[in-house]
A = this chain, B = another copy of it.
């Protein structure tokens, strides 16, 4: 995997106080947005009102889907260098059935069961400050430094510089310095008490009428409680606790100390460290627990709120906690924030690099708000799940075939999908094909294809033909802001090679999705070592054959030069998947590709599927792709007008 290449042409700002984007807040959502846009060459002003990164505590759970994203950005290794705890299972402890004071373990569940096919089926636990530092180090490599402690004092739409319509006033914390900037975009990653949201008059609605006060404590303990290194929920006569293991032998305890359903509810209720520890001791009894130290302790009220809008004008955007707040139990805050930022980043890039029309920016709110609403609606069900008794034995089996389909298990499966981050399905839009889409062709999304627009690309191991390395197909294109075309070519055959030649021929014309957005230097000036974007900054093409890699002899298989130019993106689907029978082409099978036919799978820059189109001889495949991209691209794509 090389480093992503930016489409940097034409993005020089007219003067020093002009920025592509001003980002306010350097928590997870702001840092993810900043890190992605910095890699793609944008000019960023990033401020935070805290004098330094989070020193300890706060958010701590990186879900499997987020880890995929971090890996795709090359940031998983530095995260893992901190030796985080990994949670594979959730254990359940209930009051002792003998009616006594004690607790007993009643069961456990995988936190990310095999049916989700996660590449990393565990939650990674690390305090927010260590995670922030990984982003801050990466930003520094791309020349972006967080300016702190600074705050935003005002912003407005301005005509002074039409290309930079957002006027922003910033103030250093000590009041000694002010800056007035002009930006194309302004982003609030300020957290739940977003000033920008309030200035815009955007309301927050609370889905759950009940709000809670939580105590949370990170520390090093000594205990004989056997599940101390697992995530667990403990219910006892003395109250409830959630236990989450942490890096550096630490453990986090969440204790709910008040609920708006309590008769004497007080949202400002508080408790001391000692009180919380005393409660924890009672709940864990007969097991003993003592603290060697407490690293972080906090009490906070939290409601399940959601902003009515994520943007009003597609110039000023909100994301993360500024848009939605959750109970800490499902560990969704930071993860939802990461994916908010990723969703917005590529769309801003697609617009500002001249590829997509400004309209696609509206899908940020429709896509991400729907996810937040689903999550919040789900949170109640999830809460119920955790207060129930242990699941039936069958739910604990790792093999999907033995899971009985009953309501409980169904809720559990959905819960896992949500908490792992794999439950997201973006709804129909110009970028997520549906039967209502403008693009119509009998080649589009045929019935036997198993993958759906709006869902994530499948995970699959394949062999990279150039160097015979076994690689993760879904990770092979880095987070480079480009659409990913996976050409599943099935079994090699003469007719298939003819279809590939036609695909290459028509994709190379000036009226195609690819030709219309060719790099200005595509005619001979592109570096020999450019592996991801040799033809266009907006596309990376990968070709996958259902054949053994030894047999895919590149010297005799005469693929069209358009495809072979992607030297490191030609794969053999010949790695055994333990979930499928031996020898079958696992990636093709998961996608649902007819091996005699072939399929082009279009994956958005964020990894979600846009559309699939059958691979056929003639112009049909490229014409169908043109129709799809026509619905949101800036140019009119047509083979008829091609040179």
**In the complex, what residue of chain B is closest to A531 when comparing beta carbons?**
B249
- Taking the closest CB of chain B, its distance from the CB of A582, in whole angstroms, is 9
Contact between chains at A87 and B467 (CB < 8 Å) = yes
Residue A330 at the B interface, CB < 8 A? no
A222-B528, A578-B576 known; A105 vs B553 contact (CB < 8 Å): yes
Q: Specify which chain B residues have a CB less than 8 angstroms from the CB of A467 in the assembled complex.
A: 85-89, 229-230, 245
**In the complex, what residue of chain B is closest to A529 when comparing beta carbons?**
B249
Contact between chains at B469 and A122 (CB < 8 Å) = yes
Q: Of B80, B122, B229, B553, which one neighbours A466 at CB under 8 angstroms?
A: B229
Contact between chains at A230 and B77 (CB < 8 Å) = no
- How many chain A residues sit at the interface, stated as a range, is 35 or more
Contact between chains at B226 and A555 (CB < 8 Å) = yes
CB within 8 Å of B: which A274-299 residues: 292
- Taking the closest CB of chain B, its distance from the CB of A529, in whole angstroms, is 5
Q: Specify which chain B residues have a CB less than 8 angstroms from the CB of A469 in the assembled complex.
A: 86, 88, 122
Residue A137 at the B interface, CB < 8 A? no
Q: Specify which chain B residues have a CB less than 8 angstroms from the CB of A89 in the assembled complex.
A: 467-468
- Taking the closest CB of chain B, its distance from the CB of A462, in whole angstroms, is 13
Q: Specify which chain B residues have a CB less than 8 angstroms from the CB of A578 in the assembled complex.
A: 576, 578
Residue A181 at the B interface, CB < 8 A? no
Complex Cα distance, B249 from A104, in Å, reads 57
Complex Cα distance, B105 from A87, in Å, reads 47
Q: Interface readout for A371-402 with B: 1 if CB under 8 Å, 0 if not?
A: 00000000000000000000000001000000
Residue A108 at the B interface, CB < 8 A? yes
Q: Of B80, B108, B122, B555, which one neighbours A77 at CB under 8 angstroms?
A: B80
Contact between chains at A108 and B550 (CB < 8 Å) = yes
Contact between chains at A230 and B88 (CB < 8 Å) = no
Q: Of B85, B554, B568, which one neighbours A226 at CB under 8 angstroms?
A: B554
**In the complex, what residue of chain B is closest to A226 when comparing beta carbons?**
B554
Q: Specify which chain B residues have a CB less than 8 angstroms from the CB of A87 in the assembled complex.
A: 467
- Taking the closest CB of chain B, its distance from the CB of A25, in whole angstroms, is 29
Complex Cα distance, B76 from A81, in Å, reads 11
CB within 8 Å of B: which A504-562 residues: 528-529, 550, 553-555
Complex Cα distance, B579 from A576, in Å, reads 11
CB within 8 Å of B: which A222-274 residues: 222, 226, 229-230, 245, 249
**In the complex, what residue of chain B is closest to A85 when comparing beta carbons?**
B467
- Taking the closest CB of chain B, its distance from the CB of A584, in whole angstroms, is 14
CB within 8 Å of B: which A165-199 residues: none
Complex Cα distance, B468 from A267, in Å, reads 37
Complex Cα distance, B401 from A72, in Å, reads 37
Complex Cα distance, B226 from A467, in Å, reads 9
Q: Specify which chain B residues have a CB less than 8 angstroms from the CB of A118 in the assembled complex.
A: none
Contact between chains at B249 and A105 (CB < 8 Å) = no
Residue A470 at the B interface, CB < 8 A? yes
Complex Cα distance, B576 from A468, in Å, reads 25
CB within 8 Å of B: which A560-586 residues: 568, 576, 578
Q: Interface readout for A14-32 with B: 1 if CB under 8 Å, 0 if not?
A: 0000000000000000000
**In the complex, what residue of chain B is closest to A290 when comparing beta carbons?**
B528
**In the complex, what residue of chain B is closest to A574 when comparing beta carbons?**
B398
Complex Cα distance, B105 from A86, in Å, reads 45
**In the complex, what residue of chain B is closest to A220 when comparing beta carbons?**
B529
Contact between chains at B88 and A81 (CB < 8 Å) = no
- Taking the closest CB of chain B, its distance from the CB of A446, in whole angstroms, is 32
Q: Specify which chain B residues have a CB less than 8 angstroms from the CB of A550 in the assembled complex.
A: 107-108, 396
Which of A105, A468, A528, A529 has the largest count of B CB atoms less than 10 A from its CB? A468
A529-B249, A576-B578 known; A468 vs B88 contact (CB < 8 Å): yes
**In the complex, what residue of chain B is closest to A466 when comparing beta carbons?**
B229
- Taking the closest CB of chain B, its distance from the CB of A149, in whole angstroms, is 32
Q: Specify which chain B residues have a CB less than 8 angstroms from the CB of A555 in the assembled complex.
A: 104-105, 226
Q: Specify which chain B residues have a CB less than 8 angstroms from the CB of A554 in the assembled complex.
A: 226
Q: Specify which chain B residues have a CB less than 8 angstroms from the CB of A81 in the assembled complex.
A: 77
Besides A88-B467, A107-B550, A226-B555, 17 more A-B contacts (Cβ < 8 Å) are A77-B77, A77-B80, A77-B81, A86-B467, A86-B469, A88-B469, A104-B555, A222-B528, A226-B554, A229-B467, A229-B568, A230-B466, A230-B467, A230-B468, A249-B529, A292-B528, A396-B550
Can you identify 9 A-B contacts, CB atoms within 8 angstroms? A86-B469, A88-B469, A89-B468, A105-B555, A110-B468, A226-B555, A229-B467, A230-B466, A230-B468
